[in-house]
Amino acid sequence: MELTWLLGPSQEREIPSLLELEKADLLESMPLSEDFVWMKALLQQEVEEQLKKKCFTLLWYYDPNSDADSETMKTAEVWKLAEVRVGREQQCQDAKSQQKEQMVLLEKKSATYFQVLLRCLTLLQRLPQEHWLKTHSELDHINAQYLEVKCAAMILKLTMEEIKILSDTLLRK
């Protein structure tokens, strides 16, 4: 930043240079114009190579099988990367919208299932009570019949004992 400031159009400086450099020092250290052109070409070639490597790396990320292709084929495929990225972005957006739709549908189904389960629980609570009352009255009826038959059997037994006692007493007289 200081170098830019030193080489700028203004010659008057109120603040002394932090690096204690003057414009003459910079101009003295600048490379020759041929070296400048050579450095520019070299840097341009180096930047192109680095960009090419980055593009091939990006291509490999999207298509791992592209590593076996020739450099010309890879270059042609790199040009298609923008379309691939747009396509994948669209797929991602579609997937997100489908996911939102599925979540809404899931929430609706969950609410419906919850309501159905609540109704089933109330039915399950009511049915045993109703069946218990019905079963209980049937059981009481069966118990009453059992006691009636048992009572009749006891009366018969008593009658038999009475007859036995009478027959024993009559035979002894």
Q: Is the pLDDT of residue 66 over 90?
A: no
State the chain's mean pLDDT as an integer: 82
Q: What is the mean pLDDT of residues 83-95?
A: 89
Q: Which of 67, 83, 160 is nearest to 91 (CA)?
A: 83
What confidence category does residue 55 fall into, taking pLDDT thresholds of 50, 70 and 90? Answer: confident
Q: Is the pLDDT of residue 12 over 60?
A: no
pLDDT tens-place string over residues 16-40: 555 666 667 666 776 666 667 788 8
Q: Give 77 or 15, the one with higher predicted confidence.
A: 77
Quote the pLDDT of residue 87.
Answer: 87
Q: Give 30 or 101, the one with higher predicted confidence.
A: 101
- What sign for the dihedral angle of Cα 63, 67, 72, 73? negative
Domain locations along the chain:
1-30
Quote the pLDDT of residue 147.
Answer: 95
Quote the pLDDT of residue 17.
Answer: 58
- What sign for the dihedral angle of Cα 99, 103, 108, 113? positive
Q: Rounded CA gap, 10 and 108, in Å? A: 71
What confidence category does residue 127 fall into, taking pLDDT thresholds of 50, 70 and 90? Answer: confident
Q: Is the pLDDT of residue 11 over 70?
A: no
Inter-residue contact 54 to 38 (CB < 8 Å) = no
Inter-residue contact 2 to 19 (CB < 8 Å) = yes
Q: Rounded CA gap, 136 and 129, in Å? A: 10
Q: How many CA atoms lie within 13 A of 130 on its CB side?
A: 6
Q: Is the pLDDT of residue 15 over 60?
A: no
Quote the pLDDT of residue 6.
Answer: 58
Quote the pLDDT of residue 73.
Answer: 79
Q: Is the pLDDT of residue 69 over 80?
A: no
